[in-house]
Structure 1
Amino acid sequence: MIRLLFPLWLLASPLMVQAHFDDVPDLATRISYQNRVTGADGIARESHWQEKWMRVGDQVWSQRLIPLPLARAYHATHDANPGHKHFTHQMAARWVTHGEDGGLQLRYADAWHNQLVEVPTEEYGQVGFTPDWDKIRYLVDPALLQGMTALDEAAPAQARWYEKREGKQRTRILWSSQWQIPLVVESASLDGYRSYRMEVTPKSLPKQLPWQQLDGYQSLDLRDFFD
């Protein structure tokens, strides 16, 4: 997991930064992740995964892309086991809604079983969820940019590279002011033994949003799956 350990240095005017985030566009994306760690045994271990991510108004939908044969095999084994079934949130789409009162509603849509599972606040730890709306909405907290150095490097239109070095780690963010998201996040140790990269590709919004396709889903609470 990426580690963003920045002090919030005010290298830019807070009013100017806030103005950039007043209008947040709706968009759909494809996100690719790559994580590489070289252990003390000299073996380099790499992880790659992708997800679909969508932001519309005060709702954010994210879904890991799992090859159908693997998902089918997992569910066939999981569902065949007798007894109580636990909920595997990693195999479902995450749906976060930001309420007018500032609170968050967390639900998972399991298309395999046609179940919509709500997670109460006190059970966020069960699914590893951190209720940080700015990070959920923008993929990284935009306030981090205030503590980073803007770079004069080649970048796509309406985007700019930012960099921060702290201790033995360097982090770079390619921020899109057009889409209000990072197009790239890179984090690496200066010795080269750890690295992380997230790359975001904007896509067209679908004609029908995923949370509009949940008719017939059984509404459950995460605690319904507890022993």
Structure 2
Amino acid sequence: MAAMRTFAMKLDAVRRACAALGGAAVLAAAPALAAPPAPDGGRAPDLDAVLLHESMTVSADGVTRTVTYRERMVRRDGHVWIERVPPSGAKRAHAGGAHAHEGLDAARTPPSRGGARPAAAAADAHAGHRHFDFDSAARHVTNDGGRIGVEYVDAAQRTVVAVPPAEYETTGFDGSWDNAFYITPPSQLKRLAAQSKPGPAPGTRWYEQTVGAPRAQGTNRVLWSDALQAPLVVEYRSADGHASRKLTLTLTPAPRANALPWRQLQSYTRKAYVDYLD
């Protein structure tokens, strides 16, 4: 168990370094400003979107690495669903390489969301052992009267795994409902300077902050939508130009109420996180 947790924590560190900034991790102190108001008496609206994540890093030896991936986000009162959007043909490719995928996990291109994997993750799949891939599973975060819960869903295996609070970080969840619900919480905008010029659409505005931390010198920018109560763009660019991260939100059609993803899980097998600890 200890070996698995150490490995998962390393993956989580990679995820935190590579993921597009949600605003909370590197925002230094700045003059406080009023947070943008939420519509409808403070209740944020439903949200259906695709999140495009883009990052670029230049290593000390001059190698440029770029990462791009997409996630589907469904937000309702008390629910946030995030799932990776696979590229076209990915399922066929995965099926064709199923016998080799154990050895390729560490070389996957998309940044990890953290991944609790058993210590015996390389065990022969034909022996009946299969680890749960938290990186590619959908994440369902719930808020029931202030009680936060998180579960991961593997649609291919029709399995739902509930994760206890003590293991949130191991699976890549920071435990914050606001971070999950808003992407960049309105409270974080208080630490950024609102630009005098409005954003490109009515009800939007750019917020900006210069970061002076020793290992994160650069600029954070957030394009906030008052109507959506969510950022349309979150980006960071290092002062030396060697690193950049960007998240772009694009609205998508809303599913029918009875087609919401967390309402499709009645027939799924439910397991506990401990079931995957070897």
Match of 1:160 in 2: 205
**TM-fit CA distance, 1:47:** 0.5
In the alignment, which of 72, 75, 80 is matched to residue 95 of structure 2? 72
Cα RMSD, aligned residues only: 2.0
Match of 1:33 in 2: 53
Return the alpha-carbon distance in structure 2 between the equivalents of residues 49 and 203 of structure 1. Answer: 17
Q: 1:201 to 1:18 in 2, by over 3 A?
A: closer
Return the alpha-carbon distance in structure 1 between the equivalents of residues 211 and 271 of structure 2. Answer: 44
Match of 2:43 in 1: 23
Moved more, 140-149 or 23-32: 140-149
**TM-fit CA distance, 1:109:** 1.3
Matches within 5 A, 1:41-120: 41-66=61-86, 67-73=90-96, 75=98, 77=100, 80-100=125-145, 102-120=146-164
Match of 2:177 in 1: 133
Contact 1:28–1:55 (CA<8 Å) still a contact in 2? yes
SS state at 2:153 partner: strand
**TM-fit CA distance, 1:112:** 0.6
Matched, 1:185 2:224: no
Match of 1:5 in 2: 26
Q: 1:65 to 1:175 in 2, by over 3 A?
A: same
Q: What TM-score results when the alignment is normalised by the length of structure 1?
A: 0.90
Of all paired residues, the percent bearing the same amino acid is 31
SS state at 1:147 partner: coil
Matched, 1:201 2:250: yes
Return the alpha-carbon distance in structure 1 between the equivalents of residues 174 and 65 of structure 2. Answer: 26
Contact 1:186–1:196 (CA<8 Å) still a contact in 2? yes
Q: Counterpart of 1:36 in structure 2: which amino acid?
A: M
Matches within 5 A, 1:205-216: 205-207=254-256, 208-216=259-267
Q: Counterpart of 1:135 in structure 2: which amino acid?
A: N
CA offsets per residue over residues 188-208 of structure 1, 9 Å max, x none?
101111000100001121011
Q: 1:8 to 1:215 in 2, by over 3 A?
A: same
Return the alpha-carbon distance in structure 1 between the equivalents of residues 36 and 68 of structure 2. Answer: 34
Return the alpha-carbon distance in structure 2 between the equivalents of residues 112 and 84 of structure 1. Answer: 16
Q: What TM-score results when the alignment is normalised by the length of structure 2?
A: 0.75
**TM-fit CA distance, 1:74:** 5.7
Moved more, 64-73 or 42-51: 64-73
Contact 1:86–1:226 (CA<8 Å) still a contact in 2? no
**TM-fit CA distance, 1:18:** 6.9
SS state at 1:86 partner: coil
Matched, 1:217 2:268: yes
Q: 1:74 to 1:57 in 2, by over 3 A?
A: farther
CA offsets per residue over residues 45-89 of structure 1, 9 Å max, x none?
000100101101110000001232244346555584425322111
Contact 2:189–2:207 (CA<8 Å) still a contact in 1? yes
Q: Counterpart of 2:262 in structure 1: which amino acid?
A: W
Return the alpha-carbon distance in structure 2 between the equivalents of residues 18 and 197 of structure 1. Answer: 22
